[in-house]
Homo-oligomer: A and B are copies of this chain.
Amino acid sequence: MPMTRKEFLKLTGKGAAAAGLGFFAFLNEPRGFAADVLESDTLKRIHQHIDDNLDRHLAKIQEFLRQPSVSSWNLGVQDCAEMLVGYFKQLGCQETNLVPTAGYPGVWAWYDAGAKKTISRYFMYDTQPYDEKEWSSPPLAANVVPFPPFKSALIARGAINSKGPLVAFLNALESTIAVTGTLPVNLMFTCDGEEEQGSPHFHEVLHPYHDRLKTCSAHLNPGPSQNRDGQVSMYLGNKGILYIELEASGQRWGRGPQRMPIHSSRKAIMDSPVWRLVDALKTLYDQQSNRILVDGYYDKIAPPSDEEKMLVATLIEKFKDRAFGSERENARVWLQDWSDEEAIRRLVHDTTLNIDGIWGGYTGPGVATILPEKAACKIDSRLVPDQVIQEQEKLIRAHLDRHGYSDIEMRTLGGGDEWSRTSVTAPAVQSVLSVYKKYNIEPAIWPRSAGSSPQAQYTRAPLNLPACSGGLGHGGRAHAVDEYFVIEGNDQVAGLADCEKSMVDILFAYAHWPS
């Protein structure tokens, strides 16, 4: 017998945590308000339809991945947007169209099922760049290959981040409509073609639809969320991101080479913009102490909330050993030799200042003797509550000016992803948790991911929607070589079919959850 909402909230509240039950107490209980629907014949028939049509579903994912959409390179993004509009039409959306922006177009679509609840769904359809010669299978070929320890996986740029899961969700909807004639919820889709650029124009996609999106009750994004071992981490929010370029140039500085590199022997009498950049960077961050030295950079950071504290305590208590899974391969020690416990806290709570790239002068093979006329770097900073992108940016500018580096040019790239957070008590979150329970998965719940997304545009003013994502399935190597999406899994990890089935489950669970 399902708990009442009141009973549930009692279990997930402070009292339960104090009693050592934590937020996961409910997992030992029936699946909340969604138990009946998750066992229904309707769902079983939809699952069967997915199994029967899996080859076609996979082919559609491959079709979408073979259309490049590398926003950094201006490669195929517009064509990919138009392909996505076509998919929404096939699905039977009452509305779908490109949404022009100052950059690449976004995409809007609306599926009106005449249902009580409306869900907001986000897609990104652009990808990171790639260096094809490093891949074992070409990044645009979207080949399905044996992929131990899984039976098979699809290799492609965008396979997991996020064009593969995007089409998997459309496949799940298609099967639902095929079996039931409609969907259990109405859906409003808003899609970004510049996510990998930091979503600089996504607000232009959302803005015309603000009044429509306000009718949604949640921003719910089902998708493959298992790690290599089949375990799940759930993120109830994300950090914001500030992305800038800093450039030292002789011209702006009025010192050193003014217009072009000069013979390096001239270093005896001329200043170097490269050394200038090194000097300026050194004032921003101290590597030894891991301290951001920008004046006031930490001032706006709020202390962790009680809910965050409890979630982090539970993470450390129950999930410490799997918190960093495959990451361990690429990291021997954490910053400052932190323990895993401390690293979990820092990953959740810390702001950062990272150099994504640095360049200047001759960077090819062998020797060239030049004094470069400029040098530059890309810097990103992850922001936590209550840091605000524009304010942090101003702090960096003011710091450089105050330390005598007003000649260092600062260019904003991307920008727009503020931090986001949703409470674990939100029905959208509880619905997803109920589906994990159905499959005997106990997720590690993180108050926020260390990364960024445009989610704040849904979860903060003016829309204020609770947001959640989750589901079965697995992929990896996002942003890296041989990005993959598991098609046939193993005992721990779901393949494509179960991934799509869990997406259907989540929609039905949420549709039936009391609100």
Binding site for B on A (CB under 8 A): 71-73, 128-129, 196-198, 239, 241, 243, 254-272, 274-276, 278-279, 281-282, 285-288, 290, 327, 329-335, 338, 343, 346-347, 350-373, 375, 377-378, 380, 382, 413-414, 449-452, 478-481
A367 near B258: Cβ-Cβ < 8 Å = no
Of chain B, the residue at the smallest CB distance from A71 is B366
Q: How many copies are assembled?
A: 2
Interface centre among A197, A261, A358, A371, by most B CB within 10 Å?
A358
Q: Lowest 7 CB-CB distances: which A-B pairs, in order?
A: A357-B361, A265-B450, A267-B354, A72-B366, A357-B362, A359-B363, A265-B451
Of chain B, the residue at the smallest CB distance from A70 is B366
CA distance A439 to B287 in the complex (A): 61
B372 near A380: Cβ-Cβ < 8 Å = no
Q: 11 new A-B pairs (CB below 8 Å) besides A72-B368, A265-B382, A269-B334? A: A73-B365, A256-B331, A261-B479, A263-B451, A265-B450, A268-B382, A275-B281, A354-B371, A357-B372, A358-B358, A358-B360
Known interface pairs A347-B268, A350-B268, A360-B357; A327-B262 also in contact (CB < 8 Å): yes
CA distance A272 to B241 in the complex (A): 18
Known interface pairs A257-B331, A275-B285, A276-B287; A358-B363 also in contact (CB < 8 Å): yes
A261 near B368: Cβ-Cβ < 8 Å = no
CA distance A288 to B403 in the complex (A): 12
A332 near B254: Cβ-Cβ < 8 Å = yes
Contact of A369 among B268, B368, B380 (CB under 8 A): B380
Contact of A265 among B239, B255, B256, B375 (CB under 8 A): B239
A260 near B330: Cβ-Cβ < 8 Å = yes
B259 near A330: Cβ-Cβ < 8 Å = yes
B333 near A367: Cβ-Cβ < 8 Å = no
CA distance A481 to B261 in the complex (A): 10
Residues of the B chain whose Cβ atoms lie less than 8 Å from the Cβ of A480: 260-261
Of chain B, the residue at the smallest CB distance from A353 is B267
CB distance from A178 to the nearest CB of B (A): 37
CA distance A185 to B515 in the complex (A): 103
CB distance from A14 to the nearest CB of B (A): 27
Of chain B, the residue at the smallest CB distance from A286 is B279
B279 near A279: Cβ-Cβ < 8 Å = no
CA distance A287 to B264 in the complex (A): 16
Known interface pairs A239-B265, A264-B380; A255-B333 also in contact (CB < 8 Å): yes
Can you list 14 A-B contacts with CB-CB less than 8 angstroms, sorted by A residue number? A241-B369, A254-B333, A258-B331, A263-B451, A265-B451, A268-B351, A275-B281, A278-B287, A355-B360, A356-B371, A357-B372, A359-B360, A359-B363, A369-B452
B287 near A243: Cβ-Cβ < 8 Å = no
CB distance from A227 to the nearest CB of B (A): 14
Of chain B, the residue at the smallest CB distance from A277 is B358
B450 near A268: Cβ-Cβ < 8 Å = yes
CA distance A279 to B83 in the complex (A): 48
A266 near B364: Cβ-Cβ < 8 Å = no
A279 near B269: Cβ-Cβ < 8 Å = no
Known interface pairs A271-B335, A367-B198; A478-B263 also in contact (CB < 8 Å): yes
CB distance from A329 to the nearest CB of B (A): 8
Residues of the B chain whose Cβ atoms lie less than 8 Å from the Cβ of A352: 264-265, 267-268
CB distance from A203 to the nearest CB of B (A): 17
Of chain B, the residue at the smallest CB distance from A258 is B330
CB distance from A418 to the nearest CB of B (A): 15
Of chain B, the residue at the smallest CB distance from A256 is B331
CA distance A458 to B339 in the complex (A): 60
CA distance A338 to B266 in the complex (A): 14
B279 near A288: Cβ-Cβ < 8 Å = yes
CA distance A256 to B331 in the complex (A): 6
Residues of the B chain whose Cβ atoms lie less than 8 Å from the Cβ of A197: 366-367
Residues of the B chain whose Cβ atoms lie less than 8 Å from the Cβ of A335: 268-271
A267 near B72: Cβ-Cβ < 8 Å = no
Residues of the B chain whose Cβ atoms lie less than 8 Å from the Cβ of A449: 265
